[in-house]
A and B are shown apart, each in its own frame.
Chain A
Amino acid sequence: MGNILLKNIENPNSAELCEYRKSGGYAGLQKALGMEPKAIIDEVKKAGLRGRGGAGFPVAMKWTFASADPKFPKYLLCNADEGEPGTFKDRPILEKNPHILIEGMTISGYALGAEYGYIYLRGEYPAAKDILNKAIKQAYEDNLLGDNILGKGVKFHLAVHQGAGAYICGEETALIESLEGDKGQPRIKPPFPVNVGAFAKPTVVNNVETLSNLPYIMEIGGEAYAKIGSPDCPGPKIYCISGHVARPGVYELPMGTPLREIIETHCGGIKGGGRLKAVIPGGISTPVLPPDKIDCPMDFVNMPKHGSMLGSGAVIVMDDTVCMVKVCHRALKFFEHESCGKCTPCREGTGWLRSILGRIEQGEGNEGDIDLLLSVAGNMIGKTFCPLGDGAASVVQNFIKHFRPEFEEHVRLKACPVGK
């Protein structure tokens, strides 16, 4: 499988419309505009496309709900808030291949009956903002966006909305709040965004990578697409690998590529010949795996069977110089910082967990602190408003599950044993 989503990214001008067109860009849109919207959704259904934002929700199902809602206008929001630590898979699309996203969104907008789209771009990607804005401008000039796209009487308007530094805005209802000019705090569901979303109208939120699959699905058809990668969740997938591997970076591979293959084959194994100690396979919120658990196909269906999740496909590889308490502590610092403050267990619990971890790491932990961690995490899990708080608690649970002796040693030695 060659690059589909990251096609041409070695070309320094890949973000230019003319370059994109040269390699067949916007043919998918041309084709789509000749189809009935319903037929596009059917094609996506046949393709078996699942959302790449983390949850793996079937795209066609979400679209069907939104397009069935009688309210107008409808909105299509692209989730470009990529904030899950370890994740940098959307950035190359945004910076190097923006037109594939614009094309994908226009196709989706047409399929859904959405006339307005926003790209919710994380604030930490200022360069992408300029690139996207330029690409959108080009698309308008070439009549690929606007009131009468390609002369087919189809209307779709697109704008970039820049976030301002809040991980929680990756959660779709928080994203909508933020788009509407509010704090990014998740909303009560139901009603779901497909019925009552942005500006109280039917709204679809899809990830950058998800939407970028559309041109290709249009091009080769759903059935052919469904043959790529895992049968249960097909398609190309961008994996992003960071940490102690020889060749970190983004890799576009078929969905379901085994984690071991990614680390050892594609990334050239552990850097400097060190020993693998732990892998976080799908971004910091997904359960950490010890070295003996990495023989798992990286997709939405198989990862849970192997004790973790695909998440955003952000693989963080750690060698044996890394202290697990320290990583866990740093992760909780992140969750504390990013907790939106809406619900009690997350607002109070993340800080409490962080401070217990902090004192263990500092060598000031007590006997009983590890159980206290588990108890506090237990009081959070399943009780928070949104998955962020669950994620925070499960990070603690999973680190202790796989590396409890290391935690205990910190308490016993009143110091960090790693590397000593």
Chain B
Amino acid sequence: MITITINGKEIKLEKAMTVLEAARSAGIKIPTLCYHEQLEKYGGCRLCLVEVEKMPRLQTSCTLMVTDGMVVRTETEAIADVRRGILEFLLINHPLDCPYCDKAGECELQDLVEKYGPTTSRFREKKRKVTENLQDPVIVRNMERCVMCTRCTRMCEGVQGASAIAVISRGGHSHIEPFSGNRYDCEYCGNCVSVCPVGAIMSRLHRHSYRPWQVKENIETTCPYCGVGCTLVAQVRDDVIKRVVPKIGSPVNNGMLCSRGRFGYEFVGHKERLTVPLIKKAGVFEEATWEEAIGLVAKRLGEARDKHGSGAIAGIASPRCTNEDNYVFQKFMRVTLGTNNIDSTARMGYAGAQAFIENIFGQGATGNIISGLSNSDTVLVIGGDPTTVNPILGLQIRACSRRGGTILTVGHVPGLQHFTPMELKPGRRQETLLLECVVTALVSRKGLPGSNQRLEEKIKVVNADIATVAGQCGLHEKEMTDFIDSLAGAGTPAVVIGKELVQACNSGYRLFLACAISYLINGRIYLLCDHANEQGVLDMGCAPDLLPGYRPLSYAEFRKRYETAWKTTLPEKNGLNIFDMIAAAGSGALKAMYVMGENPVFNLPDSKTTVAALQKLEFLVVQDIFMTETARLADVVLPALSWGEKYGTFTNMERRIQRVRKTVGREGMEDWRIVAEISKHMSVRMHYADSGSVFEEITKVSPLHRDLTYDEIAEGATIYPYKGEPLRGATEEIRTDRGMTCPEGGLFLGIDRPLFHSGTLSRMSPALGKICPDAVLRINPETAATLLVADGDIVRVSTATGSLELPAVLDKHADRSVVLVSNIFEGRGVLGLMAAALDPVLGSPVLDTIPATVERVGKAKV
């Protein structure tokens, strides 16, 4: 216990802290500028100087640690003078443009000057002038307002880890550069915007459009983009989201955001949003009333069921919709239509991989706390770049490195390159072999733990020795043994598994090997997750083999339970998964489909086949917020409310259930309400007053969610296994079939996963579009050279399924045997070109075996 006295007040402290923190804990305000709770201590601005007895000089309270018996004064006349002096220094070069500056009202300098500041300036010289800089797509800079607190650079380097900006030059010439004007390594996270105390760095999105004090509401909600599920605060005025800011202290992202979370909100108010139901008549969409549209959907679905049987109808749910939407949707499919033909794009990898991992380690094995990653002593990354797929999770890996942890990567991970990872880069095709070798070496080094016999049976079969594998992978034996030694010596390791592993050939077998590694080193598994509610869509039972609560349909006792709850009988057999559905539609076995908040034409491999299949349907209804590639094929299009306009919950990759809140109003219905309306028209009444009553039903029927309430969830601590029972012991054999063999040689098509986008939702956010406006083909410079392709040249990339023309971007991080294209931009999606086989174990498409050719068709524009 430390006792100190501040301004005559005795304060007892449990642990060591700075004088500033101690003062704040006792409600004593000390002015600060360079201090920020998220950042490393700096002590540069000198505003927080205080008097400390027995110390000769004034001390910066933000850096001084308390000691027992310390006596501090923070508000003497002398100190006020000092602060006035410091503020005078800060103002000599600061423009006094408060009436024009968007920061006015929440400017820390303004507030300080108001309290302590000089009223006149004695500075007669010319002020430094810097013109406003609008080079950057999302940030506006007025660097003459900069007070050199370096909060932005400490954020960028020390927390975000992008190191895109730095203090350039020194002394009075110091200035912050270059932001993304020069496109160094800017990740457009905007976290510099969050910490800038003055109006030097601000978001362009709301420039001159409102004053901070005009914000009507600060609404806390959950980011709509990735599986991390960051807490966002939407600031709303006049029913428009003006700005999105993070919240310090929120459990997942604690004050941090990525570009998508911070700048990606504009899709909500996009002018191309669907507003009225559309019915296709003679090939042309016509606007219709809700009555009409709902009536028609109910009628056609009913007819299809009656004529062809329930098995001829299928539904696709959405990892972007809330738990409530998805729950009602699957209930509609199962109860109203009587089919288990329901699935989602979680089938592209997440669902199969999670099921596989849980079959080995038990339910919830992937639900590890994201912030815990930074406390690991070792993080192994396999299968992609976590810093782009799940950026805020990526930050935790960077933090781990900064704290002295070891980062190991299989393959090259650009987002971690400045964090001194130990890399093993086998050719893409040798990855399986390499993982086998790691497993073998770990067994010989550490032995088998003996806690999971089923797994050990399988591990014992694996055998690959370092020398041979090093030769085959073109690696040095030394780098392999160092890597393996690090893994073997790990105390609190984590294993991060990305899509590139789950969508590769041998993916099931590779995942088994990754699990084996994790088991042998006693690691925690993190399975990267693309979409905000990818976990929730599975938890809600939007899968052909799962009931709500992630309960296997094949267990009669579970089925019983739901039959009782829903007062119905459920089909016993698993339904069609999303790939089966397309196949069945193509073969004519499926007659009608209901797609909610998903765009299978764009988001499933081989768009031609998908289009042909959907066109064969007798009836297709698509419910969405934009006219998507899939919606264009529909007979009826139903406009839904978006993320920003409704209440509900998302479940993130940690299996944390979080609230989504309505931020702005719009006429229309939530997805669940539309579905319930249709059901009502089909004489199966679903009675929910609001999303809360849907959730209440979920907590009654799903043992996983038992007794939860919205209020509890709002605390942010509702993490699996909640209060209910996790499922244990429901195990099947661990499969280790290898699936298709990796083809040798040649050039293959791969998926580019840019940090600035997430599926097709982000393409409707103009700000993100400005950062990353269009699809490109990323190609290794050496590969490009052999093809005579220069940076910026227009190239045609072709596969057996089709071709695209795109500008080439030479990217030294790209593998030599792969060219990468993203799956974001309309008409330029890479998945469309990929006619993929499915992995026999995971059921996910094998996307790294698509041969591609690249030819130059046009010169770079200069």
Contact = CB atoms under 8 A, between A and B. Distances in A.
A338 interface: yes
Interface in B54-92: 57-58, 63, 65, 82, 85-86, 88-90, 92
A183 B170 contact: yes
Interface stretch (A38-46, A306-314, A379-387, A404-412): A379-387
A336 interface: yes
29 contacts: A166-B170, A183-B167, A188-B43, A336-B171, A337-B171, A340-B170, A341-B169, A341-B170, A341-B171, A342-B44, A343-B43, A343-B44, A344-B46, A344-B47, A345-B89, A347-B89, A347-B148, A347-B171, A347-B174, A348-B172, A350-B172, A375-B122, A379-B85, A382-B57, A382-B58, A383-B46, A383-B82, A383-B86, A385-B46
A385 B43 CA distance: 7
A379 B44 CA distance: 15
Contacts of A340: 170-171
B130 to A, nearest CB: 16
Contacts of A342: 42, 44
B172 A372 contact: no
A123 to B, nearest CB: 14
A345 B170 contact: no
Given A336-B171, A341-B173, 5 more contacts: A188-B43, A190-B65, A347-B89, A352-B89, A379-B82
A355 to B, nearest CB: 5
Q: Which 8 A-B pairs have the closest CB atoms?
A: A379-B85, A348-B89, A341-B174, A339-B171, A351-B172, A341-B171, A342-B44, A188-B63
A193 interface: no
A283 interface: no
B45 interface: yes
A384 B46 contact: yes
A336 B172 contact: yes
A345 B93 contact: no
Nearest to A368: B122
A343 B47 CA distance: 10
A339 B88 contact: no
Contact of B92 (A188, A190, A339, A348): A348
Contacts of A166: 170
B90 A348 contact: yes
B555 interface: no
Interface residues of B, number: 32
A349 interface: yes
Interface string A376-401: 00110011110000000000000000
Given A379-B82, A385-B46, A344 B125 contact: no
A83 to B, nearest CB: 14
A340 B86 CA distance: 17
Interface in A310-363: 336-345, 347-352, 355
B192 interface: no
A352 B90 contact: no
Contacts of B184: none
B174 A345 contact: no
Interface residues of A, number: 29
B41 interface: yes
Contacts of B174: 341, 347
Contacts of A384: 46
Nearest to A340: B170
Given A183-B167, A372-B122, A349 B89 contact: yes
Given A372-B122, A385-B43, A385-B44, A344 B86 contact: yes
Nearest to B57: A382
Contacts of B58: 382-383
A105 B173 CA distance: 37
Contacts of A345: 46, 85-86, 89
Interface string B120-140: 001101000000000000000
Given A188-B41, A343-B44, A343-B45, A379 B171 contact: no
Q: Give the dominant DSSP class at A's interface.
A: helix
Contacts of B41: 188
Contacts of A372: 122
A336 B171 CA distance: 7
B172 A343 contact: no
A374 to B, nearest CB: 12
Contacts of B278: none
Contacts of A382: 57-58
Contacts of B82: 379, 383
Interface of A: 166, 183, 188, 190, 336-345, 347-352, 355, 372, 375, 378-379, 382-385
Interface of B: 41-47, 49, 57-58, 63, 65, 82, 85-86, 88-90, 92-93, 122-123, 125, 147-148, 167, 169-174
A350 B173 CA distance: 12
B616 to A, nearest CB: 64
Contacts of A350: 171-172
Nearest to B175: A341
A200 to B, nearest CB: 9
A350 B89 CA distance: 10
B49 A383 contact: yes
A337 B170 CA distance: 8
A190 to B, nearest CB: 8
Contacts of B148: 341, 344, 347
B85 A383 contact: yes
A240 B373 CA distance: 57
A343 B89 CA distance: 11
Nearest to B89: A348
Contacts of A351: 171-172
A183 B148 CA distance: 15
A218 to B, nearest CB: 36
A343 B170 contact: no
Nearest to B126: A355
Contacts of A375: 122
A382 B60 CA distance: 11
Contacts of B45: 343-344
Contacts of A352: 89, 92, 123, 125
Contact of B86 (A337, A339, A379): A379
Report which residue of B43, B58, B88, B89 has the largest number of chain A beta carbons within 10 angstroms of its beta carbon: B89
A345 B89 CA distance: 6
A247 B282 CA distance: 106
A175 B591 CA distance: 75
A183 B157 CA distance: 14
A263 B92 CA distance: 43
Nearest to A390: B57
Nearest to A369: B124
Most interface-central of B42, B45, B47, B170 (chain A CB within 10 A): B170
Nearest to B125: A355
Nearest to A351: B172
A188 B62 CA distance: 11
Nearest to A389: B46
Most chain B Cβ neighbours within 10 Å, of A183, A341, A345, A384: A341
A349 B122 CA distance: 12
Contact of A339 (B46, B49, B172): B172
A341 B167 contact: yes
A378 B172 CA distance: 19
A345 B45 CA distance: 8
A115 to B, nearest CB: 21
A339 to B, nearest CB: 4
Nearest to B90: A344
A75 B147 CA distance: 36
Contacts of A190: 65
B32 to A, nearest CB: 12
A229 to B, nearest CB: 29
Contact of A341 (B63, B86, B88, B172): B172
Contacts of B65: 190
Contacts of A385: 43-44, 46
A349 B46 CA distance: 13
A6 B133 CA distance: 57
A383 to B, nearest CB: 5
A233 to B, nearest CB: 21
